[in-house]
């Protein structure tokens, strides 16, 4: 597990209920299998949104030798 890994920037400030697409590059694991990437939002110097009750985005990914 990696904490405080890759980061991507929001394209602009977002209001309640707004959404944005953020591109983040991640390194594939050495082993094949099914994994979950958990995404959280941070406000620098303030804290992680998940620590304030906002649910992280969990994304299922499959890594293979293909």
| pLDDT over 80 at 3, yes or no | no
pLDDT of amino acid 58: 94
Q: What pLDDT is recorded for position 2?
A: 67
Cβ-contact 31, 63 below 8 angstroms? yes
In a domain, 52, yes or no: yes
What are the residues whose beta carbons fall under 8 Å from the beta carbon of 60, sequence distance 6 or more?
Answer: 34, 35, 36
Q: Indicate the length of the chain as a whole number.
A: 66
Q: What pTM value is reported for the model?
A: 0.73
Q: What is the pLDDT of residue 59?
A: 93
pLDDT of residue 66: 67
Q: What is the pLDDT of residues 16-63, one digit of tens each?
A: 999 999 988 888 888 899 999 999 998 889 999 999 999 999 999 999
Q: Are 42 and 49 in contact (CB under 8 A)?
A: yes
Residue 26 lies in a domain: no
The number of distinct structural domains making up the chain is 1
- DSSP label of 3: S
Radius of gyration (C-alpha) of the chain in whole angstroms:
14
| Assigned domain for 51 exists | yes
């Amino acid at each position: 597990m990696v904490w405080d890994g890759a980061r991507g920037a929001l394209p602009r400030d977002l209001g309640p209920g707004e959404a944005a697409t953020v591109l983040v590059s991640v390194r594939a694991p050495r082993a094949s299998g099914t994994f979950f990437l958990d995404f959280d939002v941070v406000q620098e110097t303030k804290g992680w949104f998940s620590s304030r009750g906002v649910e992280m985005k969990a994304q299922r990914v499959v890594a293979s030798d293909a």
